[in-house]
Amino acid sequence: MKIECNDCGADINLPEDAIVGEIVTCPDCGGDFEIVSKSGDKVELKPAETVGEDWGQ
């Protein structure tokens, strides 16, 4: 499944089993996006949170 990048308009490839909350990266501009909703072939993205200093395991 393909979806348009919110920033640069390039095509982002979305795996079929992608779920809400996953992060996808635009191959052209490198922007990270979080999948906000997904129903059928309608997918909504928002810019992902940047990695904070307190992130990790």
Partner 1 sequence: MDEISILYDKIRYEEKSLHEKAIKRGLKVSLLDAKNISLNTSSKHSDFNQSRVFLQRCLSHYRSLYLTTCLEFLGLNVINSSSIIDTCGNKLKTSLKLAQNNIPTPKTHFAFSVEGFKELLTEIGYPKVLKPIVGSWGRGVFPLRNQELANMILEIREEDTNPLSRIYYVQEMIKRPPRDIRCIVIGNKLITSVYRYSADDEWRTNVARGGRTEIAPITKELEDIVIKTSEAIGGGILGVDLMEDLDNGLVVHEVNNNVEFRGASLVSHVDIADAILDYLETFLKR
Ligand X SMILES: Nc1ncnc2c1ncn2[C@@H]1O[C@H](COP(=O)(O)OP(=O)(O)OP(=O)(O)O)[C@@H](O)[C@H]1O
Residues that bind ligand X (CB under 6 A): 56-57
Closer of 19 and 55 to ligand X (Cβ): 55
Closest CA to 25 of 37, 8, 42: 8
Distance, in Å, from the CA atom of 57 to the CA atom of 32, rounded to the nearest integer, reads 20
CB of 6 to ligand X, least distance (A): 31
The span from the CA of 29 to the CA of 7, in Å, is 8
User: Between 7 and 32, whose beta carbon lies closer to partner 1?
Assistant: 32
Binding partner of residue 23 among ligand X, partner 1, none, CB cut-off 5 to 8 Å per kind: partner 1
